[in-house]
Amino acid sequence: MGIRERLSGNEAVATAMKQINPDVVAAFPITPSTEIPQYFSTFVSNGQVDTNFVAVESEHSAMSACIGSESAGARTMTATSANGLSLMWEMIYIASSLRLPIVMSLVNRAVSGPLNIHNDHSDAMGARDSGWIQLFSENNQEAYDNTIMANRIAEHKDVLLPLMVCQDGFITSHSIENIELIEDDKVKEFVGKYTPEHYLLDSENPMAVGPLDLQAYLFEHKAQQAIAMKNAKKVILEVAEEFEKMTGRKYGLFEEYKLEDAEYVIVCMNSTAGTAKAAADELRANGVKAGVLKVRVFRPFPGEEIAKALSKAKAVAVLDKADSLNGQGGALYEDVVSGMYNEKLTIPTINYVYGIGGRDTTVNDIKSVYSDLEKLESKPENPYRYLGLRGDK
């Protein structure tokens, strides 16, 4: 029987971290993720966890400390946003290349510049090829649940990759929602004890961390990272199945909302999925067969599975809350159409960049996308579009 509570997304993640009780948390404050280490530090000072909390002078130092502690065999977690992730840039690649299963809460926010503290996905999209697993969370419950599952996924022997749990800054991080928590003892049993096979403090089996890796080996090591990322897909589903048995809450690589007979489908991530579902419900009431595919796992990207889920649609719109600035659409769009192409699936598909810098995206905005899909021709004249841009026609 779960515990009913009302928490913000940041409180929910901090509570999950408390229940996990990691060995080390190293973090530096940055809006809108600041509350996570702030709440967690109170758990440390109150004696509710026995975590070693490391207060550092920058996000680069935070990830450096995480790498040091995880290399030493300590289960390690952190949190950041936007420019904080950017300052970690060098170290996030090192964390994944060293195969360190660090878990980070990434509260999504626009990356400067110009300076903006509100939500879009430019931080996560910038790190999409850094070798980190990426889970996205529609609401506070999912942010909590994804955090509970994260260590199990990252620490699996066939994976051993760092993982970031994403949620939308302010939209979910600071909004209070009803949530169902899991009992502490069940979380402890589910997450289990961290027992790494190789770590620096194992004096009987000395090892080197971060040695020079030149032409003779780097290619193979990068290929091993890619294999681990592919392995993560299966592990994510296995952990989710076990999580469902414990809680009754089901998670997959993505969520299919009214896709069984959907003719017009929107693909999106994070909190926008809730708005898209509301729009689909209204249109369904008027006879429009609208559906939503919410991507939960962005890395590894489930291209084959998404293509299969979209195979019956007449038209598809992919919504990106970050612009790749390449003239060819956003990152989610590129991955979706790549998956469709590989599966020889030809469906009219358009891309909308939306919500940059926290601009509101309403139910009516989403309904306008469905309206465009109803009029979409086999070869769209303009597949790269903006949603909610002032002056856009």
Per residue in 165-186, pLDDT tens?
A: 999 999 999 999 999 999 999 9
- Report the share of the chain in percent with pLDDT over 90: 96
| 260 and 242 inside one domain | no
Per-residue pLDDT at 65: 98
- Please list, residue by residue across 37-76, b when 16 or more beta carbons sit within 10 angstroms of its beta carbon and e when fewer do: bebbbebbeeeebebebbebeebbbbbbbbbbbbbbbbbb
Query: Of 247, 276, 300, which one is at a domain's C-terminal end?
Result: 247
Q: Answer yes or no: are the C-beta atoms of 294 and 268 closer than 8 Å.
A: yes
Give the Cα separation of 81 and 91 in Å (integer): 15
Residue where the block lists tokens 């030493």 = 72
Quote the domain boundaries for residue 146.
3-247
Q: Answer yes or no: are the C-beta atoms of 353 and 387 closer than 8 Å.
A: yes
Is residue 393 situated within a structural domain? no
Per-residue pLDDT at 392: 76
Query: Of 247, 266, 290, which one is at a domain's C-terminal end?
Result: 247
Burial of 375 (0-12, 13-18, 19+ CB in 10 A): exposed
| 260 and 333 inside one domain | yes
Q: Say whether pLDDT at 377 is over 90.
A: no
Radius of gyration of the chain (CA): 21
Each residue of 264-308: pLDDT tens digit?
A: 999 999 999 999 999 999 999 999 999 999 999 999 999 999 999
Q: Answer yes or no: are the C-beta atoms of 143 and 344 closer than 8 Å.
A: no
pTM for this structure? 0.97
What mean pLDDT is predicted for residues 324-334?
96
Query: Of 198, 227, 247, which one is at a domain's C-terminal end?
Result: 247
| 188 and 118 inside one domain | yes
| 73 and 111 inside one domain | yes
Q: Say whether pLDDT at 1 is over 70.
A: no
Per-residue pLDDT at 393: 58
| 328 and 217 inside one domain | no
Each residue of 228-270: pLDDT tens digit?
A: 999 999 999 999 999 999 999 999 999 999 999 999 999 999 9
Number of domains in the chain: 2
- How many C-beta atoms lie closer than 10 Å to residue 368's C-beta? 15
Q: Say whether pLDDT at 134 is over 70.
A: yes
- How many C-beta atoms lie closer than 10 Å to residue 138's C-beta? 22
Q: Say whether pLDDT at 373 is over 80.
A: yes
